[in-house]
Every structure is written in structure tokens, then in C-alpha cells.
Amino acid sequence: MLAYPLGMLAATRGGIAEWVTRGLTVLAQAVPSFVVALLVITALGVQLRWVSFYTLTGVAQVIAPAALVTLYTVGQLSRIVAHAALALWEEPFVRAMLGRGFELSAVLWRDGRRQVLYALVAALIAKMSWVIGAPPLSSTSSRCPGSAST
């Protein structure tokens, strides 16, 4: 949910959104996930005492690890969204809309979302197998109708 708007902001406006996505991507590539989890637990649970990670019950037991995994992957996914959005600049329909006077950000947000979401879903399928450890998920997804692989 965070990767799409953050990636589109990075593609259309640049600035701080682009720096955040790049920083999260470098962090995810350079630092192992267990180290990020330990740093978040230390900062939020021990130092600031905002969340008591060791005594979580109910739904919070599921939400806390999911939030850590989301934080770890949002940078990579938002860079994929930004790259897919920037690749649309070369498409004829985008150039035609720009020639008619539409703003680039409006064209990408409104008319380019389907192509960008395709790229995001393809990346999410690969990430899901990493998160839940299910190689059958990625092999099943590659057999979808319309897929290039046979």
C-alpha cells in the first residue's frame, strides 16, 4: 500500500520521496532483515518504550512482524513503481496526452496506473515467496494464462 504512492511521487515529483525510496532500498540491500528487526525492537521497544514487542497478544502478534517486513520491502517495491512509471514517458499515449497539454503527473497517476500496477504485482509475487517461504506460489504464478513462460 505504501510502495505505489511513494513510487509514483518519486517518479513524478522527485525530491524527498525519491531520497526516501532510495534510502530504504539501500538499507534493505545492505543490511540483513534480522538486523533491521533488532534495531526496530531496540529503538521502539527498549529505548522509547512505545511498543512492548515481547508481550504482544492477539492481532498485534501478526501486525508487528508484518510491519517490519513491509518496512523492509517498501523501498524496493517503490523503486520498481517509480521505474515503471518513468518507463511510461516513452509510450505514445503519454506523449499524446502531454502534447494536448495535460500534466505529466496527472497522466501517470490517472492513465498509467494499470501498467505500473502490473509491474508492482509481478514484484509482489516474487516478494511473497520470500516472505512466506513458498516456492510453489511463484511456480504457480508463472503458469497463469497469458504468461510468457510455458
Query: What residue ranges do the domains of the chain occupy?
Result: 3-141
Q: DSSP readout, 81-121?
A: HHHHHHHGGGSHHHHHHHHTT--HHHHHHHTSHHHHHHHHH
As a whole number, the mean pLDDT across the chain is: 79
Q: Is the pLDDT of residue 108 over 60?
A: yes
Q: Is the pLDDT of residue 148 over 60?
A: no
pTM: 0.68
**Distance in angstroms (rounded) separating the CA atoms of residues 150 and 72:** 32
pLDDT band at 101 (very low <50, low <70, confident <90, very high): very high
What is the grid cell recorded at 18?
525519491
Whole-angstrom distance, CA of residue 136 vs CA of residue 63: 24
